[in-house]
Every structure is written in C-alpha cells, then in structure tokens.
C-alpha cells in the first residue's frame, strides 16, 4: 500500500458539479470534439509509429488534473494513460488521497509513445502541447499536478532539477495553481522519493480544501 500514516484527518474531494447544459457545451462534449479532431494527427513522426493516440482519461469536471510525460508501451497498446506499472502506483496514490480515476483527469505532454520511451523531442512537444493546453482550458481544474521533470519543463518552461521545483506553487498561464512532484516511475526506481511525493499530494489536498 502506498498510504502513509500522516496523522491527518481523512480528506474527501468535493463532488464535481454537474456539467452545465445551458449557455455552453458540456465539458465532456468539448473533449470528445477535440479528440475527434486530433485522433488522426500526423503532425510529427510519432503519428506514424503509434498504435493508439493516448488522449487522456478521467472526469471532465475534475478538480485535479495530473500531467505526465508521454505514453509507454502499455498506454500505446490500450490508448489509456498510466496503465502500466507507474499507472498502478498512481492508482494507489489516488486511493491514499481517497480519490480514484473517476475523480481526476490524467493526461500527458505527448499523446503518442516515443520510441523506446525516450524523452520527448522539442519538435514533438511543439506539435502536441497545444492539444494538452486545450484540454486544460476545457477542464479548467482547480489545480494541476505535474508528474516528473519533463512535464514541468514543457508545461511551465521550468529548467530546474526536481529538488528545486518541488515545494513551490506555480501558476499555469497566471491562473491555475500547479504543483510539481516526482513521476510514479521515479518512485519505482527510487523508493526514497515516496515520502516527498506524499508531502506534495498533501499540499494538493490542502490547496483544494483551503485555497492557495
């Protein structure tokens, strides 16, 4: 189990409000329209090598949006983000927060798997990042969590080591607060990162409960 004995009271995420149907389109419908526009994307070479475009998954009305780096082997096979070993650990982290995938939204900087899971190239990010930014604008979460250095590098333009990124609250386009923490894959490689990651999750819960 990922859960740590933190001594804090159980945190329950407020239920997302029902999607508005008057005055504007529901968020789920807008995301579906975006997916249909980009599902055949061939703007970079990754389009020719993917099995599935990994668009994103979760609650269109989510208060928390998690953003990783890029799909891996399992994600490319299924078209669903974070379903490999790192994804299973993310599920445990969410459970420790009293959340599930149905409560949050999960996406990546890239929507296609880079060969051999290498880091994204700038050309690939330049073509793909606008799709993610449209997702953020549609979902309009209360807070974003960047999972890993690459996610923060491209979403926030931060060129810092993880230890300097952590512990701060950034803002995407001057509005949505952003927390940066370790990617679950890093926890699998180095369990010593588990405690600082949990501290970051606690910070997210505190912001949701009390505001920035």
Domains (range + CATH), the chain: 27-210 (3.40.470.10)
Give the pLDDT confidence of 173-195 residue by residue, as tens digits: 999 999 999 999 999 999 999 99
Contacts of 151 by beta carbon, 8 Å cutoff, 6+ apart: 67, 68, 69, 108, 109, 180, 183
DSSP state of 184: H
Helix or strand run (H / E) with residue 8: none
Per-residue pLDDT for 31 more than 70?
A: yes
Per-residue pLDDT for 3 more than 70?
A: no
Angle between helices 122-139 and 27-38 (to 10 degrees): 160
Nearest to 32 by CA among 53, 55, 50: 55
- Confidence band (pLDDT; 50, 70, 90) for 22? very low
- Of the given ranges (18-22, 59-63, 112-116), which has the lowest mean pLDDT? 18-22
Nearest to 59 by CA among 110, 1, 13: 13
Separation between Cα atoms, residue 33 and residue 31, nearest integer Å:
5
Per-residue pLDDT for 9 more than 50?
A: no
Encoded tokens for 211: 């505001």
Spell out where the chain has E strands: 57-58, 64-68, 105-108, 143-147, 170-172, 176-181
Q: What percent of the chain has pLDDT over 90?
A: 84
Please name every residue paired with 171 in a beta bridge, in sequence order, or none if there are none.
Answer: 177
- Of the given ranges (8-12, 112-116, 136-140, 162-166), which has the lowest mean pLDDT? 8-12
- Judged by DSSP in three states, 149 sits in helix
Residue 24: what pLDDT?
75
- Judged by DSSP in three states, 114 sits in coil
Give the pLDDT confidence of 108-154 residue by residue, as tens digits: 999 999 999 999 999 999 999 999 999 999 999 999 999 999 999 99
Rounded mean pLDDT of 98-107? 96
């Amino acid at each position: 189990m990922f859960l740590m004995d933190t001594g804090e009271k159980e945190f329950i995420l407020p239920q997302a409000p029902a999607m508005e149907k008057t005055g504007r389109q529901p968020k789920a419908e807008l995301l579906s329209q975006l997916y249909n526009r980009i599902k055949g994307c061939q703007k970079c070479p990754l389009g020719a090598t993917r099995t599935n475009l990994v668009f994103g998954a979760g609650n269109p009305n989510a208060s928390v949006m998690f953003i990783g780096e890029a799909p891996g082997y399992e994600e490319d096979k299924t078209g669903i983000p974070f379903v490999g070993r790192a994804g299973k650990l993310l599920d445990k982290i969410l459970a420790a927060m009293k959340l599930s995938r149905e409560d949050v939204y999960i996406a990546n900087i890239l929507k296609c798997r880079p060969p051999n899971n290498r880091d994204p190239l700038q050309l690939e990010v330049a073509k793909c990042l606008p799709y993610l930014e449209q997702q953020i604008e549609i979902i309009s979460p209360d807070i974003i969590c960047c999972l890993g250095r690459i996610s923060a590098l491209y979403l926030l333009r931060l060129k810092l080591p993880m230890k300097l990124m952590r512990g701060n609250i950034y803002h995407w386009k001057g509005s949505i607060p952003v927390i940066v923490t370790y990617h679950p894959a890093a926890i699998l490689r180095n369990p010593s990162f588990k405690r600082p990651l949990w501290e970051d999750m606690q910070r997210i819960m505190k912001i949701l409960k009390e505001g920035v």
